[in-house]
Structure 1
């Protein structure tokens, strides 16, 4: 299918960078430092951040599509893993050499971030991370409310569900993640489907959901990283999220009581799409761009 104009503009402003897993799409913006590293979630891509990157207070920024997502290569067969995603982040930053970074993560990207925090605690991280912000993501999986399709995709019927995926089904499911006040638009649905279906990526949805099981297996490591990381860590949370609910936020607050929290009342799972200006304002505060 032909990509919507907004996707073409986003694609044309970036480049494909060779990595150990294949080519990874990377988009950057110039400005002052430290650069803001943007980590996207499932099933979408760095395009999720396109509406607010120009509202980051003049900071430089870096966004990438993880392998299997968006405009990056989608190898198959392949075992997609949060550990590999963290490796790719390190590879990309080693190539770009941006200096110290601040990280803003959403959805699946929050678990990539917690792995980076764990590596930093161990003294094994290859770059300097000054601040970090966890957005809506089911970091504490047992407190989340997974969608039925997520449960199916991670189970034995996952391959069949992936083979049956199509644009109408995707649009219906994706729309459930948005608030009634800011519903999914036809234009956004078209863009998200175009990115998901690039290189038939919708056919590997069951492989891409492996991160959910990793969140359970490695919970002690990643929850401990939220608790113990010595840098400045905050939480930017849309309270109307039907998946990464406020119960997840409560769990994160219990792990890190001193962490700064900004709530975005009423917004759904994709606050950066629903209300980019409000999301950007919260991100700037937690990233130390705007004074308290």
Structure 2
């Protein structure tokens, strides 16, 4: 399979557009034909939409791609003292779709923190508040009982959180990513530089202890989100890096227990970031999922 070259971070930043969300500047990206089916890509914590850069070009040849750096992430605003919320991030995604005039069936591709935002959007679909056509999850804490946060996440949530965030640096990022990436798919030094740049931009570490409050919010929303996933009306697939200590094989096993007729893919030896560790595999399994949807239509 041909390797996916991706997009350099400087070029990615130059392609950004901006819109206002409740007084905050949000950077977003679009690609593909305006009349193609919309595909909303939702990134994870603590990185940003550049996570999708290796999939961006091949997916844009088929779909209308939409992605933003959520509030508190990447090149978007990172307001101090803000009560960050997964529900607000779902509001942001809906506001972006409205800004772009997207009102038809939207497909979702989400990772990590973005999985929780996608779960909220799925619940809203069943409440009649938007129209989703499908959803694909990559590694994330879909079920609080199977999420195994790393130490720095636990510390960020503690009373030491503000200090821990401010002390977070590229070296600590590298150490954490070394544990959660697959043994043969570790990020390069250049990739770590770019990930760190996105986190550090606009003093991002100063809000990390506020962003991490998504972890208890997941617990509060568990039953509502699980019910939405179990309804079955929206086709779902889980593509999971099995090596991931946070939400790998153990989370996939729980998914198979809880979700009726589960559609799952296990990527052996791949860690928490399959879209950057094994983008060719993620692309192939995503396109297979969409091909099956088209065949069933």
TM-score range, shorter chain: over 0.9
The 1-side partners of 2:87 and 2:73 are apart by: 15
Q: Secondary structure at the match of 1:273?
A: helix
Residues paired across the two proteins, number: 286
Structure number with the bigger relative contact order (C-alpha 8 A, sep ≥ 6) is 1
Deviation at 1:174, TM superposition (A): 2.2
The 2-side partners of 1:124 and 1:290 are apart by: 23
Q: Does the 8 Å CA contact 1:145/1:242 hold for their aligned counterparts?
A: yes
> Against the structure 1 CA distance between its residues 17 and 184, is the aligned structure 2 distance closer, same or farther, given a 3 Å change threshold?
same
> Against the structure 1 CA distance between its residues 140 and 35, is the aligned structure 2 distance closer, same or farther, given a 3 Å change threshold?
same
The two structures have a TM-score, normalised by structure 1, of: 0.93
Q: Does the 8 Å CA contact 1:21/1:67 hold for their aligned counterparts?
A: no
Q: Does the 8 Å CA contact 1:43/1:196 hold for their aligned counterparts?
A: yes
The 1-side partners of 2:81 and 2:213 are apart by: 13
1:219 corresponds in structure 2 to 222
The two structures have a TM-score, normalised by structure 2, of: 0.92
The 2-side partners of 1:29 and 1:259 are apart by: 31
The 1-side partners of 2:215 and 2:25 are apart by: 24
The 2-side partners of 1:288 and 1:87 are apart by: 30
Q: Does the 8 Å CA contact 1:165/1:203 hold for their aligned counterparts?
A: no
2:53 equivalent to 1:50:
yes
Deviation at 1:114, TM superposition (A): 0.6
5 Å matches for 1:1-292?
6-31=8-33, 33-56=36-59, 58-98=62-102, 99-125=104-130, 128-288=131-291
Task: Give unmatched runs, 5+ long, in structure 1.
Answer: none
Task: Give unmatched runs, 5+ long, in structure 2.
Answer: 1-6
Deviation at 1:55, TM superposition (A): 1.9
Q: Secondary structure at the match of 2:81?
A: coil
The 1-side partners of 2:211 and 2:226 are apart by: 22
Deviation at 1:291, TM superposition (A): 6.9
Residue by residue, what CA displacement relative to the aligned partner does 1:49-70 show, whole Å, maximum 9, x if unpaired? 0111212252221111110000
